[in-house]
Chain A
Amino acid sequence: MIRHAKAGILFRHGLRRVSFLICLGIGGALFSATLIRFAPGYGVQERELDPRWSAKSVEALRQEQVLHEGLASFYFHYLSALAHGDLGESESLKRPVRELLAQRFPLTGSAIVRGLGVAWLAATLLASLGLASRGWFYEASGTAVSSLLLSLPSAVIAMLAVHLRAPTFCAISVVVFPRLHRYMRSLLLRSYDQPHVLAARARGLGGVSIFWRHVLPLATPPLFALLGVSFAIAFGAAIPIEALCDSPGLGQLAWQAALSRDLPLIVNVTLIVCLVMLAANALADLAGRAFAGDTQ
């Protein structure tokens, strides 16, 4: 009965999250449309700047543009196109944004998943080792390495990766690792210092058993939240890393779009990334809640 009630609460929470995502998607799309519509240079064709075209022809060209459309009509066309999966056309690459996203997203997704996998593995291992040893040397060296990596711009890490011919995911993991390690270490230490863990230790329970039975269950829900956040960190790091490592992913696409002021492309890429991030955060939140519900 209680299990059913908990499942019901989780389902309602999930439903709320999904409806929030849908509302946000619509709001984000409208906002994106506004940015594109009111950006300087909207509706201006390169041909208009060509002095060989007469004033009359330029005026005729302008008439062809959607610029003269009313705002409501513009929004309607934008949203209806979006509903049909049409995200517009990239001004710089002269290709549909949807096609570009379909081509680039898997590459970035794969690099991010692999990078996060390596970073999580390394951070978990080192934080657990630190918990086991709790010596000053480990603490000092761990803090020094984390601080050093945190002080390096991700673009410098990307340039190092280029120099060392390391794959993109390695650079992503180096950017994400110190943030994960720092948070995970303090979280595990806090869980380890709880009174019930102290009592278990006093009763002579083994270190591994304490870790799996008492420390990890306590730390897992915040770790799920950290998983959601780490996706955002990895996506952010993907821009300089892909741009400098010449990896044709979403980050490089966003950078190229920003450099060429390709607004339909950058705005739609950002909208999609935002929705993916929110979905990842919602999933992480639900997983954390489900786990916390099971352990309580």
Chain B
Amino acid sequence: MNPAQKAAAVTLCVIFALMVLATILVPAPYARQFRDIPNAGPSRAHPLGTDALGRDSLSRLLYGTRVSLLLAPAAALLSTLIAAVLGSAAGFLGGSFERIVLAATDISLALPWLFLLLTVRAMLPLDIPPMASVIIAFLMMGLLGWQASVRVICAAARGVRDSDFLLLARSSGCKPIRLLVCHVAPNLRPLFYAQFWISIPLFILTEANLSILGLGVMEPMPSWGNLLRGFEDFSAVAANPWMLVPLILLVIVVMCFQLVLPSPEVIQ
């Protein structure tokens, strides 16, 4: 790890700690409305002020961080698992299975990611409880976000398939499942980690886009995307610069994830 990576890792740890301690740190529950002080500026009681409905902005930011930072890795884990299973099996087995998986991957990759998400989201009911909207948003990303990883994992598995140690294991009578689980998958583990890390910022940004468009996490549940909806009125942001805090936090977290990502040499 170089110094920049170390700094990024420390920053991420601090933000994760704040997220975990949100329940203790927040001045008020995220949905509680202080109706007498809407759009208030920073004060001792409300360090980041309140929003148009009088809800404490710091509470919403910390809970929103919790939603985005817990569920984006969960979605990344799901998509990496799907990619790991499909990619390793396709690369290891080869033949028509590999061709089918790669063709499906190519088709999915050709389709812009947000179009795919919007189509699937349109199939599901829109009037749902906030918690269900959180689960649907991240489940959708996890189930649909595996394509790019499959290509990479499949290519690496193809390389392992032709290796000497696998030939030796095969000649010793190892069954294909055992070969895949005990010999191929462990050799691809660094790649799985890398794909997992790559997916997290992508899912954080996708959730932000979906929520800004009103198709992600539903109110009153906070998420970074929901908090960024306030940016539609830029004159208000110029007058209340503390409204920039959610955007700054999002940018810092995504940049930190990009920095922490292991270099290609490490992955190899």
Residue ranges of A at the interface with B (Cβ–Cβ < 8 Å): 24, 35, 39-40, 147-148, 150-156, 159-160, 162-163, 232-233, 235-237, 239-240, 243-244, 254-255, 257-259, 261-263, 266-267, 269-270, 273-274, 277-278, 281
- Decide if B18 is an interface residue (CB 8 Å cutoff): no
Q: A232 touching B107 by the CB < 8 A rule?
A: no
Residues of chain B within 8 A of A259, CB atoms compared: 126, 214-215
Q: A35 touching B123 by the CB < 8 A rule?
A: yes
- Decide if B31 is an interface residue (CB 8 Å cutoff): no
Q: Taking the nearest CB of chain B, how far is it from the CB of A189, in angstroms?
A: 13
Contacts A148-B255, A236-B115, A273-B112; is A258 near B215 (CB within 8 Å)? yes
Residues of B227-257 at the interface with A, using a CB-CB cut-off of 8 Å, are: 228, 231-232, 234, 247, 250-251, 254-255
Can you add 11 more A-B contacts, CB < 8 Å, to A236-B112, A240-B114?
A39-B123, A40-B123, A147-B258, A148-B251, A151-B250, A155-B228, A232-B111, A232-B112, A236-B115, A239-B112, A239-B213
Q: B116 touching A153 by the CB < 8 A rule?
A: no
Q: A263 touching B122 by the CB < 8 A rule?
A: yes
Q: Taking the nearest CB of chain A, how far is it from the CB of B155, in angstroms?
A: 15
Q: Taking the nearest CB of chain B, how far is it from the CB of A92, in angstroms?
A: 11
Q: Which one of B34-42, B89-97, B166-174, B204-212 contacts A?
A: B204-212
Residues of chain A within 8 A of B225, CB atoms compared: 153, 155
Interface of A is mostly: helix
The CB with the most chain A CB atoms within 10 A, among B107, B112, B259, is that of B112
Q: B122 touching A239 by the CB < 8 A rule?
A: no
Contacts A153-B212, A155-B209; is A258 near B112 (CB within 8 Å)? no
The CB with the most chain A CB atoms within 10 A, among B212, B234, B255, is that of B212
Q: B122 touching A156 by the CB < 8 A rule?
A: no
Residues of chain A within 8 A of B183, CB atoms compared: none
Which residue in B118, B250, B259 is a CB contact (below 8 Å) of A266?
A: B118
Residue ranges of B at the interface with A (Cβ–Cβ < 8 Å): 107, 109-116, 118-119, 121-123, 125-126, 201, 205, 208-209, 212-215, 225, 228, 231-232, 234, 247, 250-251, 254-255, 258-259
Q: Across the interface, name the chain A residue whose C-beta is closest to B116.
A: A270
Q: B111 touching A156 by the CB < 8 A rule?
A: no
Which residue in B113, B121, B125 is a CB contact (below 8 Å) of A236?
A: B113
Which residue in A35, A148, A236 is a CB contact (below 8 Å) of B114?
A: A236
Q: Taking the nearest CB of chain A, how far is it from the CB of B192, in angstroms?
A: 23
Q: A163 touching B110 by the CB < 8 A rule?
A: no
Q: Taking the nearest CB of chain B, how far is it from the CB of A265, in angstroms?
A: 9
Q: A235 touching B115 by the CB < 8 A rule?
A: yes
Q: A40 touching B125 by the CB < 8 A rule?
A: yes
| C-alpha gap A285/B36 in the complex (Å) | 62
Q: Taking the nearest CB of chain A, how far is it from the CB of B93, in angstroms?
A: 22
Q: Taking the nearest CB of chain B, how far is it from the CB of A228, in angstroms?
A: 8
Contacts A148-B251, A151-B201; is A277 near B112 (CB within 8 Å)? yes
Q: Across the interface, name the chain B residue whose C-beta is closest to A275.
A: B110
| C-alpha gap A267/B123 in the complex (Å) | 10
Residues of chain B within 8 A of A278, CB atoms compared: 107, 110
Residues of chain B within 8 A of A235, CB atoms compared: 112, 115
Q: A150 touching B111 by the CB < 8 A rule?
A: no
Which residue in A266, A277, A281 is a CB contact (below 8 Å) of B122?
A: A266
Residues of chain B within 8 A of A262, CB atoms compared: 122
Q: Across the interface, name the chain A residue whose C-beta is closest to B201.
A: A151
Q: A232 touching B209 by the CB < 8 A rule?
A: no
Residues of chain B within 8 A of A257, CB atoms compared: 118, 122
Q: A281 touching B213 by the CB < 8 A rule?
A: no
Residues of chain A within 8 A of B232, CB atoms compared: 159, 162, 244
The 6 lowest CB-CB distance pairs between A and B, nearest first, are A236-B112, A151-B254, A155-B212, A163-B234, A153-B208, A277-B110
| C-alpha gap A152/B255 in the complex (Å) | 10
| C-alpha gap A244/B111 in the complex (Å) | 21
Residues of chain B within 8 A of A244, CB atoms compared: 212-213, 232
Contacts A151-B254, A159-B234, A232-B111; is A258 near B119 (CB within 8 Å)? yes
